[in-house]
């Protein structure tokens, strides 16, 4: 049975689709809640961290950006084996990594390589977010890129790839994510 694809006829009309992927516990749901708050309320007051639970299934969130409307589909990390069922018709992918969890690095790298090699995502723009920059034991961006061999991945990928650091909890990097979404999802 084929699961629903990335086309969306949401409340806002037909939107472009962005997939939000990553292992369990990397901060995808918090990122989505923060982006939704900023785009719907224009609020940059992110002092209070909203409660989150691990996503089982998917979350669909519509974002009204400066130049367009976009639907972000968050897929739970535990759904990794069926992520490819959602790859059709996506214009962009955000792949999140917990930069404070060294034990998750190798599995995240394998998941990323699988996503990048998927035929339906061959032309999708990709943003790799290294989250949890606010945690004291976080690796530096240079260390993360080295462990992931980002130079090799970028050189061999068919997609345009951008990497950013982020703290979904504190809000550091959220405006850069919104700018990336607004600039790269134009068809």
Residue 131 annotated as part of some ligand binding site: yes
25 a known binding residue?
A: yes
Tens-binned pLDDT, residue by residue, of the chain (187 aa): 233 334 333 444 457 899 999 999 999 999 999 898 888 876 666 667 766 777 777 888 899 888 888 999 999 888 888 999 999 989 999 999 998 888 888 889 999 999 999 999 999 999 999 999 888 878 888 888 888 889 999 999 999 999 999 999 888 999 999 999 998 854 4
Asked whether residue 23 is marked as a ligand-binding residue, the answer is yes
Handedness of CA 148, 152, 158, 162 (dihedral sign): positive
- Cα(20)–Cα(36) distance, rounded to whole angstroms? 14
As a whole number of angstroms, the distance between CA 116 and CA 103 comes to 22
Per-residue model confidence (pLDDT) at position 5: 38
**62 labelled binding-site residue:** no
Residue 42 is assigned to a ligand binding site: no
The DSSP secondary-structure symbol of 86 reads G
- What's the CATH architecture for 8-44+54-184? 3-Layer(aba) Sandwich (3.40)
C-alpha separations of 172 from 31, 79, 152, 158, 187 in Å: 11, 27, 27, 29, 28
Phi, psi of 173 (to 5 degrees): 95, -5
Q: Is 73 annotated as a binding residue?
A: no
Residue 21 vs residues 13, 83, 92, 94, 117: alpha-carbon distances, Å: 23, 8, 11, 6, 15
| Helices of type H across the chain | 28-41, 105-116, 141-148, 150-156, 174-184
Nearest CA-CA partner of 181 in 82, 80, 39: 39
Query: What number of other Cβ atoms are within 10 A of residue 57's Cβ?
Result: 9
Is 22 marked as a binding-site residue?
yes
52 is in an annotated binding site: no
Q: Is 88 annotated as a binding residue?
A: no
Whether 36 and 64 have beta carbons less than 8 Å apart is answered as: no
Whether residue 55 is annotated as binding a ligand: the answer is yes
Cα–Cα distance measured from residue 98 to residue 87, given in angstroms and rounded to the nearest whole number: 22
Indicate the burial class of 2 (C-beta count within 10 angstroms; 0-12, 13-18, 19 or more): exposed
Say what the pTM is.
0.87
Q: Is 134 annotated as a binding residue?
A: yes
């Amino acid at each position: 049975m084929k699961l629903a694809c990335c086309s969306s006829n949401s409340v806002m009309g037909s939107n472009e689709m962005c997939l939000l992927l990553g292992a369990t516990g990397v901060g995808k749901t918090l990122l989505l809640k923060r982006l939704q708050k900023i785009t719907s309320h224009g609020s940059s007051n992110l002092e209070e961290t909203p409660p989150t639970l691990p996503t089982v299934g998917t979350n669909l969130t519509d974002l009204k950006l400066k130049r367009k409307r976009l639907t972000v589909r968050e897929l739970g990390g535990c759904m990794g084996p069926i992520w490819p069922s959602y790859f059709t018709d996506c214009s962009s992918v955000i792949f999140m990594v917990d930069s404070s969890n060294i034990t998750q690095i190798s599995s995240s790298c394998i998941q990323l390589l699988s996503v990048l090699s998927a035929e339906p995502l061959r032309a999708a723009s990709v943003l790799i977010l290294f989250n949890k920059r606010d945690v004291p034991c976080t690796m530096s961006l240079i260390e993360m890129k080295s462990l992931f061999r980002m130079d090799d991945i970028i050189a061999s990928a068919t997609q345009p790839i951008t990497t950013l650091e982020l703290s979904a909890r504190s809000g550091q990097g959220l405006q850069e994510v919104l700018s990336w979404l607004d600039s790269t999802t134009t068809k």
